[in-house]
Amino acid sequence: MDLVKEINRLRKEKNAIILAHYYQDGAIQDIADYVGDSLGLSQQAAETDADIIVFAGVHFMAETAKILSPSKKVVLPDLNAGCSLADSCPPEAFKKFTEQHPDHIVITYVNCSAEIKALSDIVCTSSNALKIVNSVPKDTPIIFAPDKNLGRYIIKETGRDMLLWDGSCIVHEAFSMDKLIELHKKHPDYKIIAHPESETHILDTATYIGSTSGMINYVKEHQDEKFIVATEAGILHKMQLEMPNTELIPAPAVEDNTCACSECHFMKMNTMQKLYDCLLNESPSIDVPEPLRSRALLPIERMLELSK
Ligand code: 13P
Ligand code: SF4
C-alpha cells in the first residue's frame, strides 16, 4: 500500500489536519500540514477548523490539543507515546507540593499532564518561558515545574528565585559532556546550540539556547556557520531540509542511549503505518473529561494570550 497516497486521501475525505513535532520521523514531518514546536502546535490546534486533529507527537501534546479544541476528534498514532518529563510530575505529589507553598504562583512547562495543568496558574513552553516568568510581578514567589533544567536556565536568565520541581527529560539529560568536548575539539569551528531542557553544563557550552523553533531560526540566520545540535536528533531533518548546505552534527549521547545521538523513543513510537491506521480508525483518540478540561484550559489560554 502507498501510505502517503492513502493518508492524503483519508485526510481530505475526513477533513483532518496532521500536526507534527520536529522530533518526529522525517517521513511524518514531510506529510504533516504543520510541523512546529510545542507553542506553534498548540496555536494550530486552537485555530484549526478541521474535524480531526492527527497529532504526531506525544501524549501531553495531543491532550493539550484536545483541551483547546474539545469539539474536535484528536487522535494520536501511538497511545504509548508518553514523555519522561511529564511522568516525572505525578499529580498527587505535585498537589501536596503546591499546598505547602500557597503564596506561590504555579508556572508549569507544557510537558505535563492535564491534571498538572489544572493545578497551575499559567503554562509556558520553551519558546515563551522567559516572557511568561517575567510577566509575574517581581515580589510574587514562583513554583516552576516539572523541568528543573529549564527552571535553572530561567532562574539564570531572569534572576528570579523560583522553587523547582525535580523533573527532567531523559533525552536531554543523555548528552555526554566528555563526548561533546571531544567532538568539539575535532571540530572547533562548529558552534554548539542547545535546547534549555539540557543540563546546565551542556547549556554553558552553547552559543545559542532556545526552543526547537528558535534553534531552527538561529541556524537559518547563520547558514554559513557549522553547528553541533544539542536536542532530539529529529530536528536535523527540518534543518537540513531548509538549510541543505549548512553542516550539522547531532550532539553525542552517553553509551547506553538507544542511539549514538539523542533520540526520544516516545516520539519515535509513531510511524507512518500507525499514522495511517489512526486516521482510518479515528482511534486511539484522546479524551479529557470535564471539569478537568476547563481547569486545564485556563492556564493554557493565559499563555496563548501572553504569546500573541
Ligand atoms: P519545543 O519544541 O517546544 O522546544 O519542546 C521540545 C520538547 O521536548 C518537546 O517534547
Ligand atoms: Fe518528553 Fe524529552 Fe521526549 Fe520531549 S524529548 S517528549 S521532553 S522525553
Ligand 2 within 6 A of 267 CB? Answer: yes
111 is in an annotated binding site: yes
- pTM of the complete model: 0.96
Q: Is residue 108 scored above 70 in pLDDT?
A: yes
Query: Average pLDDT in the 91-112 region?
Result: 98
Query: Average pLDDT in the 152-164 region?
Result: 97
Q: Is residue 175 scored above 90 in pLDDT?
A: yes
Q: What is the pLDDT of residue 137?
A: 96
Q: What is the pLDDT of residue 260?
A: 64
197 is in an annotated binding site: yes
195 is in an annotated binding site: yes
Q: What is the pLDDT of residue 257?
A: 58
Q: Which domains does the chain have, with CATH numbers?
A: 3-82+267-287 (3.40.50.10800), 85-169+295-306 (3.40.50.10800), 177-250 (3.40.50.10800)
User: Which atom of ligand 2 has the smallest separation from the CA of 172?
Assistant: 2
Query: Average pLDDT in the 33-59 region?
Result: 97
SS3 content of the chain, % helix, strand, coil (to 5): 45, 15, 40
Ligand 2 within 6 A of 20 CB? Answer: no
pLDDT tens sequence across 22-35? 999 999 999 999 99
Band of residue 308 on the pLDDT scale cut at 50, 70, 90: confident
Query: Average pLDDT in the 241-262 region?
Result: 85
| Nearest CA, atom 2, ligand 1 | 37
Q: Please tell me the number of the ligand nearest to residue 125's CA.
A: 1
Q: Is residue 248 scored above 80 in pLDDT?
A: yes
| Nearest CA, atom 2, ligand 2 | 169
Q: What is the pLDDT of residue 256?
A: 62
Distance (angstroms) between ligand 2 centre and the Cα of 137 equals 30
Integer Cα distance of 119 and 124 in angstroms: 14
DSSP per-residue letters across 63-119: HHHHHH-TTSEEE-S-TT---HHHHTS-HHHHHHHHHT-TTSEEEEESSS-HHHHHT
pLDDT tens sequence across 219-244? 999 999 999 999 999 999 999 999 99
Q: Cβ-count burial of 201 within 10 angstroms (0-12 exposed, 13-18 middle, 19+ buried)?
A: exposed
Q: Please tell me the number of the ligand nearest to residue 22's CA.
A: 1
Q: Please tell me the number of the ligand nearest to residue 234's CA.
A: 2
Q: What is the pLDDT of residue 255?
A: 74
Integer Cα distance of 274 and 30 in angstroms: 15
| Nearest CA, atom 6, ligand 2 | 83
